[in-house]
């Protein structure tokens, strides 16, 4: 296996792969020489390569972990260096552009299958890596109709070996879903922060745990998210527009003093939220985090 551009996700993958014996040998390439030196000292790294081409020469499976805007350039660059039958996948949060462009530049006999493991954090960087990052979390695999079925099966098996719950869907459907459940919430959290940044700075001192939780994702890396928004522009804009309609609705109910509409809205929201599966983090801290008091 080869991991290209290990950050939080790539390093966590390599660590989980080592812990679970999923690959015989893991080769790593990182863009910055310091990062390569750092990787060389980690137990999950069996070999370091100076270039992406060198890194992939012997790999059966290559996992590209760079930001979404650099996945295609990297995949294009390594194409000719891949050994016959090699499979390339990625961990990018957007899939339509990446899957179709990467598939198109693959030489004969090697395969690209897009992946999006829904794990991570607002923190980025290898120092936050942990093997358990993927346990029980969802992972999208986004094959094309023309994708090689055995390559798809290998990628599915790989993420299942890391204890992920795999869902196979089209790249377009993926981008619609994540625009709504991930990119829209991210933009809302950022908009809330950017909005409050325009207000009295002292208000910062009064925010409660509810606000902190609501906006935690806004601490994520801005340039990573800029690329995600750009790559999923159409779906993101559509999701924002539909959200705006709903927000308009509740604003009108409040402005027009419609108690039943307000209550109905709050009840629908609670039913939806209560039905979400708890995550590890929430199971560990039942009822201990506070919010602004109702």
Interface stretch with its own copies, choices 75-83, 105-113, 156-164, 243-251 (CB under 8 A): 243-251
- Closer CB to its own copies, 67 or 79, in the complex: 67
Binding to its own copies in span 99-138, by CB under 8 A = 116-124, 128, 133, 137-138
Report helix angle 96-105 to 171-178, nearest 10.
150
Residue 17 beta carbon to its own copies: minimum distance, rounded to whole angstroms: 17
Count other Cβ atoms within 10 Å, centred on residue 88.
Answer: 28
- Closer CB to its own copies, 109 or 222, in the complex: 222
- For its own copies (CB under 8 A), the number of binding residues is 115
- Closer CB to its own copies, 25 or 212, in the complex: 212
Give yes or no for residue 288 binding its own copies (CB under 8 A).
yes
Give yes or no for residue 31 binding its own copies (CB under 8 A).
no
Binding to its own copies in span 164-203, by CB under 8 A = 165, 167, 177-178, 180-182, 184-200, 203
Give yes or no for residue 160 binding its own copies (CB under 8 A).
no
- Closer CB to its own copies, 40 or 266, in the complex: 266
Give yes or no for residue 289 binding its own copies (CB under 8 A).
yes
Say if CB 269 and CB 253 are below 8 A apart. no
Give yes or no for residue 283 binding its own copies (CB under 8 A).
no
Pairing of strands 2-4, 87-90: unpaired
Give yes or no for residue 73 binding its own copies (CB under 8 A).
no
In the chain the first and final C-alpha atoms are separated, in Å, by: 51
What does the per-residue mask of binding to its own copies show for 248-267, with x meaning CB under 8 A? x-xx--xx-x-x--xx-xxx
């Amino acid at each position: 296996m080869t991991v290209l551009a290990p950050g939080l996700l790539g390093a966590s993958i390599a660590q989980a792969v080592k812990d679970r014996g999923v690959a015989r040998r893991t080769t790593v390439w990182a863009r910055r020489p310091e990062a390569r030196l750092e990787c060389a000292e980690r137990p999950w790294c069996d070999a370091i390569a100076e270039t992406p081409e060198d890194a992939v020469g012997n790999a059966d499976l290559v996992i590209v972990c760079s930001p979404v805007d650099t996945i295609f350039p990297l995949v294009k660059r390594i194409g000719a260096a891949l050994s016959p039958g090699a499979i390339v996948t990625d961990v990018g949060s957007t899939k339509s552009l990446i899957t179709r462009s990467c598939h198109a530049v693959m030489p004969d006999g090697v395969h690209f299958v897009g992946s999006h493991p829904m794990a991570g954090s607002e923190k980025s960087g290898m120092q936050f890596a942990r093997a358990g990052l993927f346990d029980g979390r969802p992972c999208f695999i986004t094959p094309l109709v023309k994708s090689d079925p055995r390559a798809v099966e290998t990628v599915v098996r790989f993420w299942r070996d890391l204890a992920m719950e795999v869902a196979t869907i089209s790249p377009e459907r993926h981008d619609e879903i994540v625009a709504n459940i991930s990119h829209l919430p991210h933009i809302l959290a950022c908009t809330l922060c950017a909005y409050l940044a325009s207000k009295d700075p002292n208000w910062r001192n009064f925010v409660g745990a509810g606000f902190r939780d609501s906006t935690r994702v806004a601490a994520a890396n801005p340039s990573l998210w800029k690329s995600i928004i750009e790559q999923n522009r159409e779906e993101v804009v559509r999701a924002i527009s539909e959200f705006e309609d709903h927000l308009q609705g509740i604003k009108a109910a409040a402005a027009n003093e419609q108690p039943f509409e307000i209550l109905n809205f709050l009840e629908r929201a609670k039913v939806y939220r209560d039905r979400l599966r708890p995550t590890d983090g929430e199971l560990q801290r039942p009822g201990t985090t506070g919010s602004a008091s109702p």
